[in-house]
């Protein structure tokens, strides 16, 4: 897997991802981009890559068999007592 170049992502998708990240990172000062993952539909173009460059840094991409087409969300790795979560898109 390789890094997904920003120019390969639809600009609207990148805006949606950055918006979800902003709601997490600016609201909770303990939340770090390094602990976040973008969960996506396994057959999506994004699922073929390991990470994406965002306005807040590199975001890991996690293909998830429980995520349906058109749905994506950002979730924080567990371990700090609470878990951050934000929808990127949902049907």
Range of the structural domain that residue 13 is part of: 3-89
Q: Are the C-beta atoms of 66 and 45 separated by less than 8 Å?
A: no
- Nearest Cα to Cα of residue 21 among 5, 32, 10, 30: 32
- The yes-or-no verdict on residue 25 having pLDDT over 50 is yes
- The yes-or-no verdict on residue 42 having pLDDT over 60 is yes
- Give me the number of domains the chain comprises: 1
- The yes-or-no verdict on residue 2 having pLDDT over 70 is no
- Residue 6: predicted pLDDT: 53
Q: Are the C-beta atoms of 76 and 35 separated by less than 8 Å?
A: yes
- Nearest Cα to Cα of residue 88 among 48, 58, 49, 61: 61
């Amino acid at each position: 897997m390789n890094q997904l170049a920003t120019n390969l992502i639809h600009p609207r998708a990148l805006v949606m991802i950055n918006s979800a990240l902003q709601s997490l990172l600016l609201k909770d000062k303990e939340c770090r981009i390094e602990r976040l993952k973008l969960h996506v539909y396994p057959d999506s173009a994004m699922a073929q890559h390991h990470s994406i460059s965002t306005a807040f840094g590199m975001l890991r991409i996690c293909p998830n068999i429980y995520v349906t087409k058109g749905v994506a969300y950002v979730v924080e790795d567990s371990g700090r007592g609470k878990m951050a979560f934000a929808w990127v898109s949902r049907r």
